[in-house]
Structure 1
């Protein structure tokens, strides 16, 4: 970047140096100084850049952009001009424009770390997580290169840039053997193991890193993200508040805060944050999608659909946004939507994640139109893509059932009678996804004594901790360890569950629901640690339940559902273990058969309330009038009266479901009873 001037060079240089110093002290004075230079030397490029920067720092974004736009067009290859243009566009919410400007900056100067940082932040906002990850890694490489020039750190950062976290981990562990307190290496190792799926280990490394370097902002941001992924939203919020104290308008921090607040049921705050961020950064398709999720949960269906529409308009290839529309269940696509989704699927550069979500969305669209063959084709393709991404082993589940039956005997429960935490607060609604469990939850949450929460991860987290395995490849001590726990330990575990879930309780109602379906695998843990808790087994016809699960793309946690054989075996394992508990703890769990609820809801609701020790209330029959937040795929459906059309819906697909029938075996023919195991 150069400029022509008739002023004495020394005078201009001195004035420019003074203006640059003022930028960090008083941006308004810097703007005045730059303006004075421009009066003397019109169109002076560096003075114009300082003026634009000062205007941005002073908060006058419209004027900053009016100053920068012509400068940016004139100096497309100037790294400082494109960098400043990127920051101003980002601050003004023009995220796509910011991405382009930062890309121009790094193209002109590949070693400009600040431009890579800006690009990473902008790409995160537009939902390009893979691109943001690469940009962050490039930034790290350059920061190291500009600092200690450590070859080991450089090699590890290069491996992360190349998408090889395993290689990065090896190099970083070797470095930490000699320098165990190196914060840069600890943070980078945390990133590597997080990419490898070891979030708990990443947390430990980041905590250590921040003990050594409390002001390491990037590490704190990583820690907040890891804590959120681990389901520890309260802990994530603590870290986010520290980050936001320094950067109160940082959209990435605010988006994560909104997501964490939604996880703990603070929907009003979450929605308000999304609205504020989207007003300032409207070009943010994943932000609109997350906002839509929050709106869906509180029942604002029209606003939710509009938010999802905004996401697909901004990013037509964002498969998850199309699927989010389909997953409203009551939404119907038109022919233009189908053509748009098919056009995206035809792209060779589409990611597998976008592709599978589009397949699920098209499966639902063709299902609604009664085109069963085309619908199944898309569902099967989406499920196959998702199955290939997961390391699911059905034998692990089979072994867990066998081990549970061996250790959780009638004698064990008799010996532990009267132990555990006596609180009667929890009502566990469990079974399989798509079994009618959300309907049961909605009915119970319509009672004046019961609060609905969400699918809580806490029982599973406690079980995982008891097992002691750091990964699925390591042997677990669970469930056998349950037989070794003394009365104090059992009581402490029950109390821990109550303490962990207290954040989800927003009312003074004495009872609350945990609707995590996977808790059927932990009925023994629940019975031993919370002997007065209620356990409700929501069960649906195996063909209807399993096929409904197969054609549902779950956000997380249901890896068994992406193969007809897998989900059939999982259902059979579930029936077997629940039959065992029926035998060793008779009457402990109450079973609700979905088809019976549909035929005679009042009788089934009365029996359900009797089991819970609750008096009948008419509001439970009118559950669809309850405006509580519902955080499952059935959120729209349970806001309508009970409908019968889903009971036999699977029969439209029966000709493709032989693998499911074979996997279910006698569980199918004996339903609703259980076969002899």
Structure 2
């Protein structure tokens, strides 16, 4: 019996399905593994594994690699071979575990960290991908691959302008117009609302590689987002002429048909596939179509199926402990006594100021931003990550031994009392880099959902900034949360119960902040924007001390691309089909009624 079989006869296989035993994989004794010295026989087996991988004999490569790793679990070359096989087999979970093991033991291993960045991008774990892409760029700053990976990661976490820089740098370093990089650059421009520039890049990439279906699909999605539905369908036809329809092409076609009101046809496109083969994004698209067709129970089942599948595929669950701990820390730190002695940043008169549009995802923040940004006084900023950047960097920015919010205690020191001005300037510098400080504009919007968790910090660095809190019937928010994917709020939207929990948690913090500090705050009901549009919008413009612009009543004519999940809805005339639609789902929402009833009453709603 060969060595690897002997090992498995004595040990159980690791649940991660790497192909190793648990004791040589996820349950290994790290200190013991680090003390192993490879024998000449092991080194020969490592070489054999690499040779078999190169010749395409994957099972033999696995045989030799695992034989080594059962005895030397941290052998880098054997790990590389086994990880390469799992990547070749598209077994992403064990591949990620093996690659991370290499990166931990050898942080300077460019191959491993770049593969990890690419793998996490393919799994749509964009924040994790960003970490590995940054390390790859640190290790190889002149590599076009490093810049391209960084550009893709940044674009997908809401930093498209920075992503654009890295894609252009990749093109500069290669000295060629690489079609893949051109298409990635096009996405960065699209996500900045620069649709015509993006369109030209997709056209150039397509002309260079006419049978590249990914470029054509991305171009079709741009045309759909830019309301050119006929052009989008023509491009999809070209994709499906190259290869059979895929779940991704069908989801895009279904979205287009749905925008045209052809709901039965849209559903039929998705149902051409066995429902068991649909990905989470297609399942939610199917649910949204069923909702519009008034087949509510079927819609809810599709929502549940999509959310559950996302978790099974490695999607994150709610970071409950972290969210609870942060909320408690914020509530404790921002006490009346502390708030009274905390200084405030001064207001900059020389640049545009932020308008913070607060609210839970799917509560109407995009609708309000699209309405306000028709005014020449207001530039739309979309979901800015800058407050989160300040939170993460605060110990360094304030030279504090404490994490946020405790790091804010530094500003009680006489030599740091003006450091809040530095945090303000950090925020405004990011806005400048994103081209939000337009000449003549007085304001720009920041509608990052759940920024209200950090309302205390915002109130310190922008004490006069308008804070507009979009509220909506909590049960309607739950229905929208279940019918869409979002990562905000520590992945609270992964399940119904955790979405409800985080809505209550974030709202409780708002109540606390308002009780201990002066804030330039206004709550706006989504239902009032829909049902009493002009009066409500006049009130909002009055609140921010800007002349009312009648074009805000026709926000659907605002040609800018809203870079959020609700981009399609805000290109339609105002409708009320989303008001109180929870009534169709009430029996499915019963599990969260006890959690939400106090908030429903506090906000003046009923069930």
Question: Which TM-score applies when normalising by structure 1?
Answer: 0.68
1:168 is matched with which residue?
A: 99
2:82 is matched with which residue?
A: 158
1:243 is matched with which residue?
A: 170
1:520 has 2:452 as partner: yes
Following superposition, the deviation at residue 477 of structure 1 comes to 1.7
- Decide which of 189, 198, 201 is 1:273's aligned counterpart: 201
Q: 1:285 to 1:315 in 2, by over 3 A?
A: farther
1:355 is matched with which residue?
A: 279
Following superposition, the deviation at residue 557 of structure 1 comes to 7.2
Q: 1:382 to 1:219 in 2, by over 3 A?
A: same
1:47 is matched with which residue?
A: none
**Unaligned segments of structure 1, at least 5 residues:** 1-108, 114-133, 142-150, 469-474
- Decide which of 401, 406, 426 is 2:327's aligned counterpart: 401
1:18 is matched with which residue?
A: none
Q: Tell me the alpha carbon deviations over residues 320-361 of structure 1, each in whole angstroms, 9 at most, x when there is no partner.
A: 7516743896344554553442342356xx4xxx52122112
**Unaligned segments of structure 2, at least 5 residues:** 1-51, 66-74, 87-93
SS at match of 1:454: coil
- Decide which of 547, 568, 572 is 1:640's aligned counterpart: 572
Q: 1:332 to 1:518 in 2, by over 3 A?
A: same
CA distance in 2 between counterparts of 1:539 and 1:593 reads 5
Q: Tell me the alpha carbon deviations over residues 28-70 of structure 1, each in whole angstroms, 9 at most, x when there is no partner.
A: xxxxxxxxxxxxxxxxxxxxxxxxxxxxxxxxxxxxxxxxxxx
CA distance in 1 between counterparts of 2:133 and 2:257 reads 34
CA contact (8 A) 2:250 2:270 kept: no
CA contact (8 A) 1:190 1:202 kept: yes
Following superposition, the deviation at residue 301 of structure 1 comes to 4.4
CA distance in 2 between counterparts of 1:664 and 1:225 reads 38
Following superposition, the deviation at residue 429 of structure 1 comes to 0.7
Following superposition, the deviation at residue 426 of structure 1 comes to 0.7
Structure showing greater radius of gyration is: 1
Deviates more, 1:408-417 or 1:610-619: 408-417
1:443 is matched with which residue?
A: 371
2:431 is matched with which residue?
A: 501
SS at match of 2:273: helix
1:257 is matched with which residue?
A: 185
CA distance in 1 between counterparts of 2:403 and 2:444 reads 30
Deviates more, 1:317-326 or 1:632-641: 317-326
Q: Tell me the alpha carbon deviations over residues 538-587 of structure 1, each in whole angstroms, 9 at most, x when there is no partner.
A: 11110112211211234877721231111111111122111112222345
CA contact (8 A) 1:609 1:615 kept: yes
2:603 is matched with which residue?
A: 671
1:567 has 2:496 as partner: no
1:369 is matched with which residue?
A: 293
1:111 is matched with which residue?
A: 54
1:477 has 2:409 as partner: no
1:86-97 aligned at under 5 Å gives the runs none
Q: 1:548 to 1:315 in 2, by over 3 A?
A: farther
1:99 is matched with which residue?
A: none
Deviates more, 1:523-532 or 1:538-547: 523-532
1:408-419 aligned at under 5 Å gives the runs 408-419=334-345
2:44 is matched with which residue?
A: none
1:431 has 2:363 as partner: no
CA contact (8 A) 1:457 1:516 kept: yes
Question: Which TM-score applies when normalising by structure 2?
Answer: 0.75
Following superposition, the deviation at residue 219 of structure 1 comes to 4.0
Q: Tell me the alpha carbon deviations over residues 621-656 of structure 1, each in whole angstroms, 9 at most, x when there is no partner.
A: 333332222222332332333322221222111121
Q: 1:284 to 1:652 in 2, by over 3 A?
A: farther
Q: Tell me the alpha carbon deviations over residues 4-31 of structure 1, each in whole angstroms, 9 at most, x when there is no partner.
A: xxxxxxxxxxxxxxxxxxxxxxxxxxxx
CA distance in 2 between counterparts of 1:442 and 1:624 reads 8
- Decide which of 274, 294, 300 is 2:222's aligned counterpart: 294
Q: 1:410 to 1:231 in 2, by over 3 A?
A: same
In the alignment of these two chains, the number of paired residues is 514
CA distance in 1 between counterparts of 2:235 and 2:592 reads 36
Q: 1:158 to 1:338 in 2, by over 3 A?
A: same
Following superposition, the deviation at residue 253 of structure 1 comes to 1.0
CA distance in 1 between counterparts of 2:223 and 2:487 reads 17
CA distance in 1 between counterparts of 2:206 and 2:505 reads 45
Q: 1:232 to 1:596 in 2, by over 3 A?
A: closer
Q: 1:294 to 1:152 in 2, by over 3 A?
A: same
Q: 1:492 to 1:637 in 2, by over 3 A?
A: same
CA distance in 1 between counterparts of 2:445 and 2:524 reads 15
